[in-house]
Copies of this chain bind each other. A is one copy, B any other.
Amino acid sequence: MSQKKKMKTLAITEKTKISRSAKRGSYEIDTINAILDEGLFCHIAYEHDGQPMMIPTAYCRINDKIYIHGSVGSHFMRMLAEGKDICFVVSLIDGLVLARSAFHHSVNYRSVIAFAKAEVVTDEDERWNALEQITEHLVPNRWADVREPYKNEMQKTMILSFTLDEASAKIRTGDPIDDEEDYALPVWAGILPLKVRASAPIPDPRLIPSVSIPEYLHNYKRGEK
């Protein structure tokens, strides 16, 4: 009997059903989570007075929930707090796919799309944990170093969450796919790998001189352990 572990997958819905290049789609929770955990920021679309709007923002994932934060005065946060339908996307570009023909040029990417309605998080422990994890999502091990939020800072901050129950991933990997007769052309073809990389940390001019660069900023990488 097969010992292969069955991957946990999300149900496919009308909204998450992938129509173009369906073989690139995935509903596996582990696949979706890996993309969400590597992404630095997301884009969130919503509708206001019949007009589609969109905002790039930070986020974190805790189990099957996404959390975002913002000012209680933010128009965006207040719109979402009303329970509007949102479309959430995280997109990672892994490389440019250079084919021999213009037509078959492509991009290697990994993206997640989720549909949800956001809810205001009111439980103080959950709010605190979300802020900690949003910070840790950007810079792992940072939270333990910083001055924690004051009560008045917490009061100024809105936390929204939504559950990842209507989501899918879409992934392209691998070499260019050219028309068979084009493989004979003397045109360079292949992948130009792209990645978000950090360069040397730049200390704040007012940094206390005795404070050195923390270990977690050396070799900062996304999506690699």
Contacts and interface: CB of A to CB of B under 8 A. Distances in A.
Interface string A13-41: 00100011000000000000000000011
Interface stretch (A4-12, A60-68, A105-113): A105-113
A114 to B, nearest CB: 10
Q: How large is the interface on A (under 10, 10 to 19, 20 to 34, 35 or more residues)?
A: 35 or more
Given A52-B45, A113-B54, A149 B103 contact: yes
A188 to B, nearest CB: 5
Contacts of A211: 186-188
B153 A103 contact: yes
B138 A96 contact: yes
The 7 nearest A-B residue pairs measured at CB: A45-B45, A101-B147, A56-B91, A45-B52, A189-B204, A190-B203, A103-B153
